């Protein structure tokens, strides 16, 4: 049975099973699958939601996309809403509150337990794409003087509420992080061993203000399942878990790819036509402006073209090939910045490398197109003009493909944003300028 038919069967099941029977069976269905079935249903979702026990609704809303969370929550009766909010993990609740108006968010926070409310207000104060904005505050904190037996007893009480119980965090009186004990190390020890003797003091910590993309790189580098977030004084604030990182990696990557292609970061396959047009058209108009810039360049040489019409035929090759080579360099640099592979020390080396590659590729492609156009037009000067402008444009491609994303990064703008528009503007305008300019100079021989 494929996933689609499974979903349809599940939806039918959820719709027609009596409430008391669902209560006994729903724990066997993954909340994400319930969510998918709900997404499929075009009728009144309340019919299903009111049958689902609150504690399961908590898991379902935890798993939902940011904008879906509030939608699902608001379908529940007022009194259940309060209970669900109480039970939700802090990072998911923060996402929910961040997706609705300040007014609605304040109303929800106002109805919360005063301590939870304070915690949530603090979480909401972090930028949403930094470590502070993605962490959860439900971690298991222990003391170094506790024994293994103490810890296990403590776990019986605390583990069910924690975001992850697979790492226990050893804090001192000032809540500073002193060490970590993996649960797996704990269960293989004697009961009377003291935490201090088994804790790992070499803890890699995430600063609260680290950008989420960098957080993703650190997880990928070290392969951790969760990592602690600390403030400037090493006080532990929360934890980030692997499942958050999967989402971040997907989000950051999709964003880079979309920005490079001139798509808005929240463009989606399921968008309506109107939304998509609204998202894409501004980019196309920016491109139109740059295309007009290229056309103005061409128009400067209309008298040259009218004398040698073959220039119009070969013109798109010089510009287009520059654009292709520029996109290669650009993509490599944008991805290198995103993966943290490009650092201050190696930029100069990489620029020189890209220029060399541009030169070599320019020589190869220039030679090829020089020969082809010589055969086509039976004019050696024509071949030399196009080959020379191809080499020059490939150099421009390398330099702009390298420096535009780096410049944007320095200005604290996402290097993927608009990079390709700038690079192709450079290669179009200068490609036409070199080719038609050289042709004008040597017009006597063409």
Judged by CB under 8 A, the chain residues 173 through 202 that form the site for its own copies are: 183-184, 186-188, 201-202
Rule CB under 8 A: choose which of 145, 302, 410, 445 binds its own copies: 302
Q: What is the torsion angle, in degrees rounded to the nearest 10, for the CA atoms of residue 349, residue 351, residue 356 and residue 362?
A: 170
Residues in 54-73 that interact with its own copies by CB under 8 A: 63
Determine whether 197 is exposed, middle or buried from the number of CB atoms within 10 Å of its CB (0-12, 13-18, 19+): exposed
3-state secondary structure of 227: strand
Q: What is the C-alpha to C-alpha distance for residues 297 and 31, in angstroms, rounded to an integer?
A: 59
10 is a contact residue toward its own copies (CB under 8 A): no
Residue showing tokens 């609704």: 57
115 within 8 A of 138, measured Cβ to Cβ: no
**Burial of 183 by CB count in 10 Å (0-12 exposed, 13-18 middle, 19+ buried)?**
middle
Edge-first strand listing for the sheet containing 206-207: 206-207, 226-230, 236-241
Residue 265 in the binding site for its own copies (CB under 8 A)? no
As a whole number of angstroms, the distance between CA 373 and CA 396 comes to 22
Work out how close the CB of 321 gets to its own copies at its nearest, in angstroms, rounded to a whole number: 6
Contact pick of 14, 260, 385, 391 for its own copies (by CB under 8 A): 260
By CB under 8 A, tell whether 246 contacts its own copies.
yes
DSSP 210: -
Give CA–CA dist 60/46, Å, rounded: 14
Binding residue for its own copies (CB under 8 A) from 7, 80, 99, 287?
Answer: 287
Is 47 a binding residue for its own copies by CB under 8 A? The answer is no
Closer to its own copies by Cβ: residue 50 or 277: 277
Q: Which element (helix H / strand E) includes 182?
A: strand 177-182
Is residue 37 within the footprint of its own copies (CB under 8 A)? no
Judged by CB under 8 A, does residue 149 bind its own copies? no
CA atoms within 13 A on the CB side of 308: 23
Q: How many residues bind its own copies (CB under 8 A)?
A: 112
User: What is the rounded CA–CA span in Å between residue 169 and residue 186?
Assistant: 12
**Residues 103, 269, 348, 444: which binds its own copies (CB under 8 A)?**
269
Of the residues 15, 50, 339, 413, which one makes contact with its own copies according to CB under 8 A: 339
Nearer Cβ to its own copies (78/270)? 270
Identify the DSSP state of 146.
Answer: -
* In the complex, minimum distance from the CB of residue 9 to its own copies, in angstroms, rounded to a whole number: 15
Beta bridge partners of 206: 229
Q: By C-beta, is 67 or 343 nearer to its own copies?
A: 343
| Choice from 80, 81, 172, 276 touching its own copies (CB under 8 A) | 276
Residue 412 DSSP SS3: coil
Q: Could you tell me the smallest distance in angstroms from the CB atom of residue 409 to its own copies?
A: 14
Least distance CB 419 / its own copies (angstroms): 11
Pick out residues in 208-237 that bind its own copies (CB under 8 A).
216, 219-225
User: Which residues in the 356-415 window bind its own copies by CB under 8 A?
Assistant: 356-357, 360-361, 364-365, 368-369, 372
Question: Segment 72-91, which members bind its own copies (CB under 8 A)?
Answer: none
| CB-nearer residue toward its own copies: 119 or 213 | 213
Buried b (16+ CB within 10 A) or exposed e, 402-418: bbbbbebbeeeebbbbb
Instruction: Determine if 106 is a binding residue for its own copies (CB under 8 A).
Output: no
Segment (H or E) for 344: helix 344-377
Nearer to its own copies, 67 or 113 (CB): 67
- Which range touches its own copies (CB under 8 A), out of 81-89, 128-136, 170-178, 306-314? 306-314
Residues paired with 232 in a beta bridge:
none
- Smallest distance, its own copies to C-beta of residue 34, A: 12
């Amino acid at each position: 049975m494929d996933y689609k038919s499974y979903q349809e069967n599940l939806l039918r099941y959820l719709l027609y099973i009596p409430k008391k029977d669902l209560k006994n069976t729903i724990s066997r269905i993954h909340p994400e699958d319930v969510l998918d079935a709900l997404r499929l249903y075009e009728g009144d979702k309340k019919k299903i939601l009111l049958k689902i026990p609150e504690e399961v609704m908590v898991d379902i809303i935890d798993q939902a996309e940011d904008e879906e969370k509030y939608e699902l929550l608001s379908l529940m009766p007022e009194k259940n809403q309060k209970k669900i909010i109480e039970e939700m993990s802090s990072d998911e609740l923060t996402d929910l509150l961040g997706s609705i108006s300040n007014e609605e968010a304040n109303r929800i926070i106002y109805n919360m337990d005063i301590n939870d409310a304070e915690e949530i207000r603090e979480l909401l104060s972090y930028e949403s794409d930094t470590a502070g904005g993605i962490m959860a505050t439900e971690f298991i904190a222990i003391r170094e003087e506790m024994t293994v037996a103490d810890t296990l007893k403590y776990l019986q009480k605390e583990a069910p509420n924690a975001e992850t119980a697979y790492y226990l965090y050893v804090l001192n009186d000032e809540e500073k992080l002193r060490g970590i004990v993996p649960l797996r190390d704990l269960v293989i020890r004697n009961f009377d061993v003291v935490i201090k003797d088994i804790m790992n003091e070499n803890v890699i910590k995430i600063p609260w203000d680290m950008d989420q993309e960098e957080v993703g790189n650190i997880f990928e580098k070290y392969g951790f399942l969760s990592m602690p977030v600390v403030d400037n004084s090493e006080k532990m604030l929360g934890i980030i878990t692997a499942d958050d990182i999967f989402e971040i990696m997907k989000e950051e990557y999709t964003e880079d790819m979309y920005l490079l292609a001139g798509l808005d970061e929240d463009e989606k396959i399921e968008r309506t036509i109107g939304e998509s047009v609204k998202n894409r058209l501004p980019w196309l108009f920016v491109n139109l402006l740059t295309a007009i810039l290229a056309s103005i360049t061409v128009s400067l040489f209309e008298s040259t073209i009218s004398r040698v019409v073959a220039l119009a035929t070969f013109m798109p090759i010089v510009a287009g090939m520059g654009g292709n080579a520029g996109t290669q360099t650009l993509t490599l640099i944008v991805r290198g910045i995103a993966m943290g592979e490009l650092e201050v020390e190696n930029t100069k080396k990489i620029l020189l490398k890209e220029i060399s590659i541009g030169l070599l590729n320019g020589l190869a492609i220039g030679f090829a197109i020089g020969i082809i156009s010589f055969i086509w037009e039976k004019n050696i000067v024509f071949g030399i003009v196009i080959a020379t402008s191809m080499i020059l444009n490939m150099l421009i491609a390398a330099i702009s493909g390298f420096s535009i994303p780096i410049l944007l990064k320095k200005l604290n703008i996402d290097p993927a944003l608009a990079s390709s528009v700038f690079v192709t503007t450079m290669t179009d305008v200068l490609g036409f300028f070199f080719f038609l300019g050289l042709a004008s100079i040597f017009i006597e021989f063409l």
